């Protein structure tokens, strides 16, 4: 069974590890989609701190990750089709954006599952960046 999840994976942290380890409990093979810098810039205020190739390299080093798959457009259906995804794991902020609804419809027709998970309550890349900025401002 192939489990697929997507994200930016910037500033790898314990919350990232939690979702990836959870994915591994769902199936034998875990594939991770990694958003390119341009994709991230299309929906977030800031580009990733860590470049795409380095984010991919970090994910490849994790035992719970089997496949690392970059994506350069904000759509998930083609990767689900290409990889043969059985379960698509999403975060709690998924929402009803067109690219999300498209992959949901594709997976439903294909008889595949979507599993929604909560984010780690203690951290996020956004919180790490904000804390870093606050610490730098306090020193300046």
Mean pLDDT of the region 90-101: 88
> pLDDT, tens digit, for every residue of 72-82?
999 999 999 99
CA 84 to chain centre: 17
Q: What is the domain-level CATH number for residue 33?
A: 3.40.50.620
Q: Residue 59 — very low, low, confident or very high, per pLDDT cuts 50/70/90?
A: very high
Domain region containing 25: 2-139
- pTM for the model stands at 0.88
Dist. CA 22–CA 112, nearest whole Å: 18
Please tell me the total count of domains within the chain: 1
> pLDDT, tens digit, for every residue of 100-132?
999 999 999 999 999 999 876 667 666 766 777
Pair 44, 98: CB distance under 8 Å: no
């Amino acid at each position: 069974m192939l489990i697929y999840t997507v994200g930016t994976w910037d500033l790898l942290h314990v919350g990232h590890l939690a979702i990836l380890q959870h994915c591994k409990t769902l199936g034998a093979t875990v594939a991770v989609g990694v958003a390119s810098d341009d994709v991230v810039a299309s929906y977030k205020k800031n580009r990733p701190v860590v470049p795409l190739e380095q984010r991919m390299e970090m994910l490849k080093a994790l035992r719970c990750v089997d496949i690392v798959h970059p994506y350069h457009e904000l759509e998930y259906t083609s990767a689900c089709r290409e990889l043969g995804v059985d379960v698509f794991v999403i975060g709690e902020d998924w929402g009803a954006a067109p690219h999300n609804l498209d992959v949901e419809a594709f997976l439903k027709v294909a008889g595949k599952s979507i599993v929604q998970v909560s984010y780690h309550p203690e951290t996020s890349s956004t919180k790490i960046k904000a804390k870093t900025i606050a610490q730098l401002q306090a020193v300046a």
